[in-house]
Amino acid sequence: MKIHSLDVYILDLPIIRPHQLAMHTITAQAIVVGCVRDEDGREGWSEVATIGGASYGESTPEAIKANIDAYITPLIIGEDPIHFDRIMHKVSKQVRGNYFAKTVVEGAIIDLAARSKHVPAFELFGGQIHKSLPIAWTLASGNTNTDIEEAQEMLRTKRHNIFKLKIGKGDPFKNVEHVRAIKQAIGDEARITVDVNQAWDEDTSNYCIAALQDAGVSMVEQPLQTWDFEGMSRLASKFNVPIMADEAATSIQDVFRIAKNRAGNSIALKPCKHGGLTQTKKVAGIAEASGLGLYGGTMIESSLGTAMCAQLYATIPEMKFGTEIFGPLLFKDSITKNAIEFSNFEIVIPDGPGFGMEIDKEKVKHYARPSASGTELRV
C-alpha cells in the first residue's frame, strides 16, 4: 500500500450563532480538509479548523493549503501510510513549523492506515482508555440572564455541566462580574471556567483572578501573552485556581519549558497546534510526568476534526479538566454522514474504522472554496 495523492480543500461552514473570542468573532468557520488516497483508491480524511484568518495565529487556511501542496505532498507520495510516524519525521526534517499543515497530513495518513487494518485510529495510539469524556460548552451571548438560562437548560437536558466563558474582549472588570453572577446562579451544579485568550496584562490578571477565584471559578485559561512565561509562572504560584496554558503550549519544547518553569499548572491539548496526533501524545506525556493537568481543547472543528481529537484524547489516562470538543454542536451542517454523539454530559468516542466518520463528499464539494486554478475540485 503506497500513498498516491493528497488533496486539500478549504471549506467555510455556517454556524448557529456568533462565537466571540478576544481577537475575533466567528460567524462562519473555516476548516481545512485533507484526503489521502492510495494506489488502490482507498481514502483517509482529516480536518483542522482555523480562527479569524491571521488574527488568532500564523496558520491561515490559505497558508495551510499552499504549504501542503508545495512542500509536504511531494514528501509523502509513494510512502506506506502504515509507517505514519516515519513519514512525519521525514516531513519535520524538511518543513519547519507549519503545525496545522502537518496535522492535516498526518491525520489523513492515520485515517487511511487505520482503515486499511479495519480498526479505529485509537488502536494505533495504545488503545482506548475512555468510552466517553466530559464535555464543556461555551456561553457566549454576552448577556448574563441569557447565559444563565442557557446553562440551566443544558443542565436540565444533561448535555453539559462544564461551562466556559470567553472574557478577553471588553471591560475585564465588567466581564468578571458577568462571570460571578453566572456562577452564583448555577452554584455547585456545574463547573465554570474562563478563557482570556491572552488579553490581560499581569496587573489586570492579579485583580481579576483573585475575584474569579473568590467566586468559585475552577480554571483560568491563558490570561497573559504567549511569550510571558515568567508572568504565567507568578500567577500560577500566587493563586489556588489552576492557570491553564493554551496558546503558549504549542511545540513539545514549549510545553517542556512551561513544565520546567511552572508557567501554568495545566495544559490545553490541541493536535493542530502541536503538529499532529503523535506530537500531542508526546505533549501529554510531558504534562503527565510534570504533574500538569490536561484539558482536551478545540479550535471549533466540525465532526471529522472532533472525531480525530476525541479518539486521541480517549487514549490519555487522565483528562483532569475534561474536554471542550463541542464543535459539531455549533455548526448548522456537517461534512460527515454520521454524527458525533453527546450524552449525559459527555462526548461518546467514535469507534468505527479510522476516525469513525464517513465523509459526505457532496457536502465537501458544496462548502469548498473554488479551486484557485479554476479546475473542478476532485472530491
The amino acid occupying position 228 is D
- Residue 300, phi-psi category: left (phi > 0), alpha (psi -120 to 50), beta (remainder): left
Angle at alpha carbon of residue 287, lines to 243 and 355, rounded to 5°: 105
Determine the length of the chain.
379
Residues 6+ apart with CB under 8 A from 257: 229, 263
Instruction: Note if 166 is an active site residue.
Output: yes
- Please check whether residue 355 is in contact with residue 122, taking contact to mean a CB–CB distance below 8 angstroms: no
Marked catalytic residue, from 65, 102, 164, 166? 166
DSSP codes joined into one string, 333-353 = S-SBSS---EETTEEEPP-SS
The amino acid occupying position 177 is E
Q: Cell numbers 455548526 correspond to what residue?
A: 331
Question: What is the Cα–Cα distance from 54 to 104, expressed in whole angstroms?
Answer: 18
Considering just the CA atoms, what is the radius of gyration of the chain in Å? 20
Q: What are phi and psi of 71, to 5 degrees?
A: -115, -30
Is 195 exposed, middle or buried, given 0-12, 13-18 or 19+ CB atoms closer than 10 A?
buried
Supply the residues annotated as catalytic: 166
